[in-house]
Structure 1
Amino acid sequence: MLRPKLPDIPTPPTTTVTPQQTQAPASSAGHPVAPYVGVGVGAVAAVVVVGIVLTALLAAVAVSAVSVAIAAVVLRSLVSSAHKR
Protein backbone atom coordinates (compact mmCIF):
# COMPACT_ATOMS: atom_id res chain seq x y z
CA MET A 1 0.00 0.00 0.00
CA LEU A 2 1.09 3.53 -0.61
CA ARG A 3 1.50 5.63 2.49
CA PRO A 4 2.39 9.32 2.52
CA LYS A 5 5.64 10.17 4.22
CA LEU A 6 5.20 12.86 6.83
CA PRO A 7 7.97 15.43 7.13
CA ASP A 8 10.15 15.43 10.22
CA ILE A 9 9.23 18.02 12.80
CA PRO A 10 12.18 20.38 13.26
CA THR A 11 13.15 21.23 16.81
CA PRO A 12 13.04 24.94 17.59
CA PRO A 13 16.40 26.54 18.29
CA THR A 14 17.07 27.57 21.87
CA THR A 15 17.33 31.31 22.35
CA THR A 16 18.10 33.44 25.34
CA VAL A 17 15.53 36.05 26.29
CA THR A 18 16.89 39.55 26.84
CA PRO A 19 14.78 42.09 28.73
CA GLN A 20 13.55 44.93 26.58
CA GLN A 21 13.99 48.57 27.42
CA THR A 22 10.76 50.08 28.76
CA GLN A 23 11.83 53.73 28.91
CA ALA A 24 10.74 56.12 26.20
CA PRO A 25 13.50 57.97 24.37
CA ALA A 26 14.10 61.48 25.59
CA SER A 27 12.89 64.18 23.20
CA SER A 28 14.91 67.24 22.41
CA ALA A 29 13.88 70.46 24.11
CA GLY A 30 13.22 72.41 20.88
CA HIS A 31 11.27 69.67 19.09
CA PRO A 32 7.58 69.15 19.89
CA VAL A 33 6.67 65.56 20.61
CA ALA A 34 3.53 65.52 18.45
CA PRO A 35 3.66 68.30 15.84
CA TYR A 36 0.60 67.05 13.92
CA VAL A 37 -1.90 67.01 16.78
CA GLY A 38 -3.68 70.08 15.40
CA VAL A 39 -4.18 68.41 12.03
CA GLY A 40 -5.55 65.29 13.72
CA VAL A 41 -8.06 67.30 15.74
CA GLY A 42 -9.21 69.10 12.59
CA ALA A 43 -9.63 65.84 10.76
CA VAL A 44 -11.62 64.34 13.62
CA ALA A 45 -13.83 67.43 13.73
CA ALA A 46 -14.42 67.19 9.97
CA VAL A 47 -15.38 63.52 10.25
CA VAL A 48 -17.79 64.31 13.09
CA VAL A 49 -19.41 67.13 11.11
CA VAL A 50 -19.78 64.95 8.01
CA GLY A 51 -21.31 62.21 10.18
CA ILE A 52 -23.82 64.64 11.66
CA VAL A 53 -24.78 65.96 8.20
CA LEU A 54 -25.23 62.45 6.79
CA THR A 55 -27.32 61.43 9.79
CA ALA A 56 -29.53 64.50 9.33
CA LEU A 57 -29.99 63.67 5.64
CA LEU A 58 -30.91 60.09 6.49
CA ALA A 59 -33.46 61.32 9.03
CA ALA A 60 -34.94 63.70 6.42
CA VAL A 61 -35.29 60.86 3.91
CA ALA A 62 -36.95 58.67 6.55
CA VAL A 63 -39.44 61.40 7.49
CA SER A 64 -40.22 62.01 3.81
CA ALA A 65 -40.79 58.28 3.25
CA VAL A 66 -43.17 58.09 6.20
CA SER A 67 -45.13 61.12 5.01
CA VAL A 68 -45.43 59.69 1.49
CA ALA A 69 -46.63 56.38 2.95
CA ILE A 70 -49.27 58.14 5.05
CA ALA A 71 -50.42 60.18 2.04
CA ALA A 72 -50.70 56.97 -0.01
CA VAL A 73 -52.84 55.30 2.67
CA VAL A 74 -55.13 58.34 2.90
CA LEU A 75 -55.51 58.56 -0.87
CA ARG A 76 -56.20 54.84 -1.08
CA SER A 77 -58.92 55.07 1.53
CA LEU A 78 -60.47 58.07 -0.23
CA VAL A 79 -60.48 56.32 -3.59
CA SER A 80 -61.92 53.11 -2.13
CA SER A 81 -64.66 54.98 -0.30
CA ALA A 82 -65.53 56.87 -3.49
CA HIS A 83 -65.95 53.60 -5.41
CA LYS A 84 -68.26 52.15 -2.73
CA ARG A 85 -70.77 54.98 -3.06
Structure 2
Amino acid sequence: MFLPKYPDNPTPPPAHTHAPADAAPVRRTLPQISISPGAVAAVLVGGVVLTALLAAVAVTAISVAIAAVVLRSMLRDHHRR
Protein backbone atom coordinates (compact mmCIF):
# COMPACT_ATOMS: atom_id res chain seq x y z
CA MET A 1 0.00 0.00 0.00
CA PHE A 2 0.92 3.61 -0.59
CA LEU A 3 1.04 5.88 2.44
CA PRO A 4 1.05 9.69 2.09
CA LYS A 5 4.26 11.53 2.93
CA TYR A 6 3.95 13.89 5.87
CA PRO A 7 6.46 16.66 6.57
CA ASP A 8 8.69 16.35 9.61
CA ASN A 9 7.46 19.69 11.04
CA PRO A 10 3.63 19.97 11.00
CA THR A 11 3.56 23.80 11.48
CA PRO A 12 3.59 25.81 8.25
CA PRO A 13 6.30 28.41 7.64
CA PRO A 14 5.36 32.06 8.36
CA ALA A 15 3.56 33.86 5.55
CA HIS A 16 5.83 36.91 5.70
CA THR A 17 9.16 37.76 7.17
CA HIS A 18 9.39 40.53 9.74
CA ALA A 19 11.75 43.27 8.59
CA PRO A 20 13.33 45.35 11.36
CA ALA A 21 11.97 48.90 11.53
CA ASP A 22 14.17 51.98 11.33
CA ALA A 23 15.35 53.23 14.70
CA ALA A 24 13.90 56.76 14.32
CA PRO A 25 12.56 58.75 11.40
CA VAL A 26 14.80 61.48 10.09
CA ARG A 27 13.55 64.90 11.18
CA ARG A 28 13.59 67.42 8.37
CA THR A 29 14.12 71.05 9.12
CA LEU A 30 11.74 73.66 7.77
CA PRO A 31 13.12 76.24 5.37
CA GLN A 32 13.68 79.71 6.72
CA ILE A 33 10.96 82.18 5.73
CA SER A 34 11.90 85.81 5.56
CA ILE A 35 9.09 88.34 5.75
CA SER A 36 9.90 91.76 4.42
CA PRO A 37 8.49 94.88 6.09
CA GLY A 38 6.86 95.81 2.77
CA ALA A 39 4.82 92.60 2.79
CA VAL A 40 3.65 93.23 6.34
CA ALA A 41 2.69 96.81 5.44
CA ALA A 42 0.78 95.60 2.37
CA VAL A 43 -1.20 93.09 4.42
CA LEU A 44 -2.00 95.71 7.06
CA VAL A 45 -3.09 98.30 4.49
CA GLY A 46 -5.19 95.68 2.70
CA GLY A 47 -6.86 94.72 5.96
CA VAL A 48 -7.63 98.34 6.82
CA VAL A 49 -9.08 98.99 3.35
CA LEU A 50 -11.24 95.87 3.45
CA THR A 51 -12.47 96.72 6.94
CA ALA A 52 -13.37 100.25 5.81
CA LEU A 53 -15.27 98.89 2.81
CA LEU A 54 -17.16 96.46 5.02
CA ALA A 55 -18.07 99.27 7.41
CA ALA A 56 -19.25 101.43 4.48
CA VAL A 57 -21.45 98.62 3.19
CA ALA A 58 -22.93 98.08 6.65
CA VAL A 59 -23.69 101.79 7.13
CA THR A 60 -25.27 101.96 3.67
CA ALA A 61 -27.44 98.93 4.37
CA ILE A 62 -28.64 100.37 7.67
CA SER A 63 -29.47 103.74 6.12
CA VAL A 64 -31.37 102.09 3.25
CA ALA A 65 -33.35 100.02 5.76
CA ILE A 66 -34.22 103.12 7.79
CA ALA A 67 -35.25 104.98 4.63
CA ALA A 68 -37.47 102.07 3.61
CA VAL A 69 -39.21 102.03 7.00
CA VAL A 70 -39.77 105.80 6.91
CA LEU A 71 -41.13 105.71 3.34
CA ARG A 72 -43.43 102.83 4.19
CA SER A 73 -44.75 104.70 7.17
CA MET A 74 -45.32 107.85 5.10
CA LEU A 75 -47.09 105.93 2.35
CA ARG A 76 -49.31 104.15 4.86
CA ASP A 77 -50.31 107.47 6.41
CA HIS A 78 -50.99 108.89 2.94
CA HIS A 79 -53.25 105.98 1.98
CA ARG A 80 -55.28 106.27 5.22
CA ARG A 81 -56.34 109.85 4.44
TM range (shorter): 0.5 to 0.7
Percent of pairs identical after alignment? 56
* Residue of structure 2 aligned with 1:73, choices 47, 69, 72: 69
Structure 1 residues 1-85: aligned runs within 5 Å:
11-16=18-23, 40-85=36-81
TM-score, normalised via structure 2 length: 0.60
Quote the RMSD (CA, aligned, Å): 2.8
**In terms of Rg, which structure is larger?**
2
- C-alpha distance 9-59 of structure 1, shift in aligned 2 (>3 A): farther
Question: Larger relative CO (CA 8 A, sep 6+): 1 or 2?
Answer: 1
Structure 1 residues not aligned, in runs of 5+: 1-7, 21-33
- C-alpha distance 58-16 of structure 1, shift in aligned 2 (>3 A): closer
Q: Which ranges of 4 or more aligned residues in structure 1 deviate by more than 6 Å?
A: none
C-alpha deviation, 1:9, in angstroms: 6.6
> Which amino acid is 1:59 matched to?
A
C-alpha deviation, 1:11, in angstroms: 3.0
